[in-house]
Structure 1
Amino acid sequence: MSHFFAFLARMKFIQRWGLMRNTFTENIQEHSLQVAMIAHGLAVIRNTYFEGKLDAGKAALMGMYHEVSEVFTGDLPTPVKYFNPKIKAVYKDIENMSQMKIYNMLPHELKNSYLGLLARQDEDRELWQIVKAADKISAYLKCAEELKAGNQEFSVAYKSIKQELDNNKLPEVKYFMEVFAPSFSLSLDELNNL
Structure 2
Amino acid sequence: MAEYNFYGMVSRMKYIARWGLMRNNRTENLSEHALEVAMIAHGLGAVRNRLYGGQVDLGQLALCAIYHDASEIITGDLPTPVKYYSDEIRGAYKQVERIADERLLGMLPEELRPDFARYFEPFADPEVEQLVKAADKLSALAKCIEEEKSGNTEFGAAKAAQERDLRQMRLPEVDYFLEKLMPGYYRSLDEMEG
Q: TM-score, normalised by structure 2?
A: 0.97
**Counterpart contact for 2:123–2:129, Cα < 8 Å:** no
For 1:130, what is the secondary structure of its paired residue? helix
The residue aligned with 2:164 is 163
Large movers: runs of 4+ above 3 Å:
none
Consecutive unaligned residues of structure 2, counting only runs of 5 or more, are: none
Deviation for aligned residue 1:121: 4.0
Opposite residue 95 of structure 1, the aligned amino acid is E
Aligned to 1:9: 11
Alignment of 1:18-97 (within 5 A): 18-97=20-99
Counterparts of 1:164-179 in structure 2, within 5 Å, are: 164-179=165-180
8 Å contact kept, 1:100–1:119: no
2:187 match:
186
Alignment partners' CA distance in 2, 1:192 and 1:57: 29
Contact 2:22 2:154 (C-alpha < 8 Å) held by counterparts: yes
For 1:53, the aligned partner's letter is Q
- The answer to whether the 8 Å contact 1:73/1:95 transfers is yes
Percent of residue pairs bearing the same amino acid type: 47
Q: Deviations over 1:90-132 (max 9, x none)?
A: 111000000011011110110110111124243x111011101
Counterpart in 1 of 2:135? 134
* Structure 1 SS opposite 2:70: coil
Q: What root-mean-square deviation, in Å, do the aligned CA atoms of Structure 1 and Structure 2 show?
A: 0.8
Distance 2:92 2:169 in 1: 26
AA at the equivalent of 1:184: Y
1:62 touches 1:131 (CA, 8 Å); kept in 2?
Answer: yes
Distance 2:105 2:171 in 1: 30
Q: Unpaired runs of 5+ in structure 1?
A: none
Higher fraction of helix:
1
